[in-house]
Amino acid sequence: MDIHELRITAELAMLDLDEREMKVFEAEVSKTLEYFAQMNAVDVDGLEPTTHVLMEENRAREDRTRDENLSDRLLEEAPERQGRHIVIPNVL
Amino acid sequence: MAEYQSFIGLEIHIQLLTATKVFCGCRNRFGDEPNTNVCPVCLGYPGVLPAVNEQALLFSYMVARALNCDLSKTAYFDRKNYFYPDMTKNYQISQFHSPIGRNGWIEYETGGELKKVRIHDVHLEEDAGKSIHRGTATLLDYNRAGTSLLEIVTEPDMETGEDAEAFIQNFRRLVRYLGVCDGNMEEGSLRCDGNISINLKGKGLGTKTEVKNVNSSRFLKLSMNHEIGRQKRALEKGERIVQETRLWNEAQSRTEPMRTKESAHDYRYFPEPDMPPFRPSPAFIADVDARLVELPVYRKRRYEAEYGISGDQVQFLTEEKPVADFFESTVTAGADPLQAAAWICTDIQKNLNKLQIGLEESSLTSLRLAALINLVKEGVINRKKAELTLSLMLEEDKDPDVIVREQGWEQISDSGAIEALVTEVLQANPKAVDQIRGGDMKPMGFLTGQVMKLSKGQADPKLVQAVISGKLGS
């Protein structure tokens, strides 16, 4: 992977990497990609892609509301609130 | 001036009418207190396991089937990666590689003509939360996060804003008929973005722009037509069209470029590892098929061809499925179709508006309406008394013949009784009688009215006229 691609990937992942980290990751990510290249080389013609290890059965849920409501507990975890709204800095 | 061709495709999002969200058991409801319908799954906590809502799948397959799509035998979900505070996981669970439906088509009607639009795909995904921007802070409400959203992507087969407007109106009726979405564009349960490009005739698609923020079918029409004009003027000046997202500015009636980040979008789709693929069983597909209905566009055309109902009446009858169903069962119960249409579109509507209730909530049944229409047809009551009977039927929840009997409204069609009434009126109005005898027929209406009044509206007006004519030798 060249450094330009790595920069775009880091940007998409919202990672702020400095030059030293860039160097480290360039090597590490390249190694990971090589491993994927090995998998890519395997001939899988005619095989259905596996997207999940449980290929046998559907796992759908009935359209019924849960009894318990954890929303108050979850809201307590928010660092800043205004009424029941969660407050964050305006990032846009 | 060169001749251009325009191409419009739509990306439509509909909120499905499920009781719960698409991947968790939180309530799916509009207007609740902020952050009440949230749980670790839809707030994107680590280690949680989403499970797909089977009703959402059923609704999605119904829409895909109604749009004549190839249905996916193995539908799976993908993660669409992007960072935005209204989506806590930093990805949206959507479908990319194997959506529920593909390669469909649907006909819509505009100006009495059927036109066809191809459907690229139909895919199920989760909606995002809502953010309210207040100066330096943003307030987040995740009640909508994770609710089921079905996206329908059409091919660029429409040409004008009028086409797009007609298409979205037809589509709205379709999803309401299927009962999968309430179709409320103002509240955002049906949203629509328009993709549009123009090119010299015969040169194929041009560079497209996408127009967002269109929350009514009328704005869709206006924004598409505005964009056609803008792109034409740019090409005439020798400029190039920039591929971009634009917003519809309602106040200024024009589209404007949307502020975008420089870095290109790359959603890095990959299969959602938390959920197994969904393989619809034959029983599931049979259930989907059993829930399909005659689509509104065909129902409308059938009423026109079969019953000769047209214009606003056929539009009104087929706008909402319950009304169309009511009309049909009234006809099945033995009423004349044109009479049934007239009653439903005018008198019944007037009464329901006065009572401020819908047809389904009222005590009126199709059997009662058919009985009422037949009381008029058989001459038991006249049309005027029938209107009063209808009001009482709605207010008192009674059969029409019971009301007619209770009120003593049976029409007087006994010629002896009518002759007596006519004689009385003729004696009281010698001037009018002379006029008619002298060949001036003008007072006929007046005399008939007087007899009707004397009979308290119960005389058969046709018979009254005949008796007057007979007596005056006219």
* Per-residue confidence (pLDDT) for residue A54, from 0 to 100: 67
Q: Check residue A91 and give its pLDDT.
A: 76
H or E, element range at B435: helix B430-437
Q: Where are the domains of chain A?
A: 1-42
Binned at pLDDT 50, 70 and 90, residue B397 comes out as very high
For A9-57, how does the pLDDT look when each residue is reduced to its tens digit (9 = 90+)? 888 888 898 999 999 999 999 999 999 999 999 999 988 777 777 656 6
Write out the H or E segment, with its range, that includes residue B103: strand B101-110
In this predicted structure, which of A70-74, B311-315, B349-353, B433-437 has the lowest mean pLDDT? B433-437
Q: Which of B407, B437, B460 is the last residue of a domain?
A: B407
Chain centre distance of CA B48: 39
Same domain? B119 vs B23 = yes
Share above pLDDT 70 across residues of chain B, in percent, rounded to a whole number? 98
Instruction: In whole angstroms, give the CA distance from residue B187 to residue B147.
Output: 15
Q: In percent, how much of chain B has pLDDT > 90? A: 70
| CA distance to partner chain B, nearest, from residue A29 (Å) | 16
Of the pLDDT bands very low, low, confident and very high (cuts 50, 70, 90), residue B1 is low
Placement of tokens 């009044």 in the chain: B453
Q: pTM here?
A: 0.86
| Domain encompassing residue B377 | 294-407
Output the six-digit token pair for B392: 């009482």
Q: What is the predicted pLDDT for the residue at B23?
A: 96
What average pLDDT does this structure show over B313-328? Answer: 96
Chain A residue numbers with beta carbons less than 8 Å from the beta carbon of B263 are: 8, 11-12
CB nearest to B138's CB, from A11, A65, A90? A90
Tens-place pLDDT, residues B33-89: 999 999 999 999 999 999 999 999 999 999 999 999 999 999 999 999 988 889 999
User: Which pLDDT belongs to residue B301?
Assistant: 96
Q: Tell me the pLDDT of chain B averaged across its residues.
A: 92
From B240, B263, B287, the end of a domain falls on B287
B68, B160: one domain:
yes
Domain co-membership, B199 together with B299: no
Whether B224 and B281 map to the same domain: the answer is: yes
Other CB atoms within a 10 A radius of the CB of residue B26 amount to 26
Contacts of B327 (CB under 8 A, 6+ apart): B317, B340, B341, B344
Residues B170 and B297 sit within 8 Å (Cβ to Cβ) = yes
Q: What is the pLDDT of residue A13?
A: 82
Say whether pLDDT at B380 is over 90: no
- Distance CA(B300)–CA(B302), nearest Å, equals 5
Same domain, B260 and B321: no
Is B54 in contact with A11 (Cβ distance < 8 A)?
no
CB contact under 8 A, A88 and B35: no
pLDDT of residue B457: 81
Asked if the Cβ–Cβ distance from B278 to A60 is below 8 Å, we say: yes
- In this prediction, residues B155-179 reach a mean pLDDT of 97
Number of domains observed in the structure of chain B: 3
Task: State yes or no: pLDDT of B335 exceeds 80.
Answer: yes
CA–CA min distance B265, chain A (Å): 9
**pLDDT at residue B264 tops 70:** no
Residue B198: φ, ψ to 5°: -130, 160
B139: pLDDT strictly greater than 90: yes
What's residue B260's pLDDT? 63
> What pLDDT score does B292 carry?
96
**B98 plus B231 within the same structural domain:** yes
| CB–CB contact A52 B55 (8 Å) | no
DSSP, collapsed to helix, strand or coil, labels residue A91 as coil
Task: Classify B396 as helix, strand or coil.
Answer: helix
Q: How many CB pairs under 8 A join A and B?
A: 123
Q: Which helix (H) or strand (E) holds B108?
A: strand B101-110
Cβ distance A51 to B27 less than 8 Å, yes or no, reads no
Q: Both B305 and B246 in a single domain?
A: no
Q: Tokens 């007072």 — which residue?
A: B443
DSSP codes of every residue in B266-283:
----EE-TTSPPB---HH
B184: pLDDT strictly greater than 70: yes
B136 vs A contacts (CB less than 8 Å): 89-90
Q: What is the CATH number of the domain that holds B452?
A: 1.10.10.410
For residue B34, the chain A residues in CB contact (below 8 A) are: 83-85
What distance in Å separates residue B103's CA from the closest CA in chain A? 21
Min mean pLDDT across A53-57, B161-165, B279-283 is at A53-57
